[in-house]
Amino acid sequence: MSTVAMGAIPPANPVPLKDDAAIIGLVGLAHGTSHFSHLLLAPLFPVFIRDFGLSYADVGLLMSVFFVISGIGQAMAGFVVDRIGARPVLFAAVSCFLLASLAASMATGYRGLVLVAALAGLGNAPFHPADFTILNQRVSAARLGYAFSAHGLTGNLGWALAPAFLVGITAMADWRTAYQAAAVFYVGVLAVLFWQRDRLRTQVVVRHADAPGGSDLAFLKLPVVWWCFAFFFLSTMTLAVVQSFAPSILKAVHGVSVEAATLTISAYMLCGAVGMFVGGFVATWGQHRHWSSDRVVAFSMTGGALLLLVCATGWLGATGTMVGLAITGFAVGVGGPSRDMMIKKATPKGATGRVYGTVYSGLDTGFAVSPLIFGVLMDHGWYAATLAGAALVLLVSVYAAVGVGQRTQAH
């Protein structure tokens, strides 16, 4: 994303649908590779434990390396995007994923895997500042709701693809071949993005230090930015609980098989993708009726939190709980496009990359912190409390979303 930000003048209408669709598709493809790379290592943890003699703590630390580098890098990447534009940063990010895959294919021990986690985290860092700069500058305002919907949907599909891709090729050949195939995949993505590079060009607004809001750090003084950060941090903590612990909870409480429990996570992600698709229409519909985006987010997140609380009680039984978790994914997904609209409205002109980088670093922080906190509850066997705690955190994120809306109106 570049510095023509959320408050920038949108492209003049009418814009041909095919032009908007092409840009949305390109950004969605790039975003899918980002989420694919979140799981570049995790699906093959059992293989690394076997081949390299690692512990669960060892492989768990790899994810911490990924999200710490991604979180810090994401906040910094926003400044780079605002300075030089989104396109070169996006190309560099996908190139990091390519290098990470090649490094993984040649890894001979734990240090090699740490290098993979670091490269993948570095590549993941710029995606939200770059993606949203491109979408906000290049997609017509009337179709932004659909653009944000497609952006979230492709991210979920990337999460769903990675385990099937890596584990499937490993089963047919070996894990080194799987990472070589991943490298080929990234080369293909880079080729498509380069071929269509003109559609990804963004403008950079020259700012003067003596102009209002001219300082690169002036946006950090806006309370609304930190309310946005808090929302992402809290809502992501809940997602991290579902991704990390839901299979273990289902197995321990309801005796669900590992396969069925894992399938539930895939169902959660796929339902989240469907929810984001629907949420694009909801966001656009609400825009036409002057609904505030934070209201849509509040309704969807509250629905998801209540479903999680019901799942925590155990009243639904094994099948009911699995279905309930999947529907939770849908409810949260519906709020995704409106969430991004909410951030758009809260961002001052010329600060798109910086604001999105800072706000979305809350996502990485939530992923890094949540397993540490809720892992303590899991270690004590407090499975219901873990799900209930995740639901309560999601409810607190609703308060943060409402706070964003109030402060956006104020500023």
**What is the Cα–Cα distance from 51 to 181, expressed in whole angstroms?**
20
User: Which residue, 400, 407, 333, 355, is CA-closest to 151?
Assistant: 333
206-255 pLDDT per residue, tens: 555 444 445 566 666 777 778 888 888 998 888 888 877 777 788 888 88
pLDDT computed for residue 11 by the predictor:
46
**What is the Cα–Cα distance from 343 to 330, expressed in whole angstroms?**
21
**What is the Cα–Cα distance from 116 to 268, expressed in whole angstroms?**
27
Q: Are 24 and 121 in contact (CB under 8 A)?
A: no
User: Which residue, 141, 128, 192, is CA-closest to 11?
Assistant: 141
CA dihedral defined by 130, 131, 133, 135, rounded to 10 degrees? 160
Count CB atoms within 10 A of the CB of residue 262: 16
Count CB atoms within 10 A of the CB of residue 87: 21
Report the sign of the C-alpha dihedral through residues 172, 63, 50, 264, in that order: negative
pLDDT computed for residue 376 by the predictor:
78
In single-letter form, the type of residue at position 48 comes to F
Q: Are 110 and 52 in contact (CB under 8 A)?
A: yes
Alpha carbon of 179 to those of 106, 113, 169, 184, 185: distances in Å?
9, 12, 9, 9, 10
pLDDT computed for residue 32 by the predictor:
93
Q: 56-84 and 127-138 are packed helices; what angle lies between their axes, rounded to 10 degrees?
A: 40
- pTM to 2 decimal places: 0.74
64-110 pLDDT per residue, tens: 889 889 888 887 887 888 788 889 999 999 999 999 999 999 999 99
pLDDT-flagged residues of the chain (< 70) = 1-14, 56, 205-220, 258-259, 286-291, 346-353, 405-411
Q: Which domains does the chain carry?
A: 17-200 (1.20.1250.20), 219-411 (1.20.1250.20)
Q: Are 322 and 133 in contact (CB under 8 A)?
A: no
Count CB atoms within 10 A of the CB of residue 271: 21
Count CB atoms within 10 A of the CB of residue 168: 13
**Cis amide prior to 10 (ω within 30 degrees):** no
